[in-house]
Amino acid sequence: MVKEAVLYKSSITISKGDKSADAKKIFGIMKLGIKVGDAITLAINGEDEETAAANIEKLIKENW
């Protein structure tokens, strides 16, 4: 996910429960402890947010 997220200028935040992290930073994501089947929320804001959202959603659906 990090490799995809860094391609965009938009701010991308991933959340699990009450914790959140910058999706462009691997250590932040690792601290969330996300496992297959966990519910997550992505917040994407910026000039290329629509493209980023579509591509990250596709990545998640194809790989998890």
User: Which residue type sits at 19?
Assistant: K
Rounded average pLDDT over 27-53: 95
How high is the pLDDT of residue 36? Answer: 86
Considering its fold, how many domains does the chain have in total? 1
How high is the pLDDT of residue 20? Answer: 97
In angstroms, the CA 22 to CA 16 distance is: 12
Q: What are phi and psi of 54, to 5 degrees?
A: -65, -45
**pTM beyond 0.85, yes or no:** yes
Indicate the average pLDDT of the chain.
95
**Interval 22-38: pLDDT, tens:** 999 999 999 999 998 89
Residue-number span of the structural domain to which 19 is assigned: 2-63
Rounded average pLDDT over 46-61: 95
**CATH code for the domain in which residue 53 is found:** 3.30.1340.10
Q: Which residues contact 61 (CB under 8 A, 6 or more apart)?
A: none
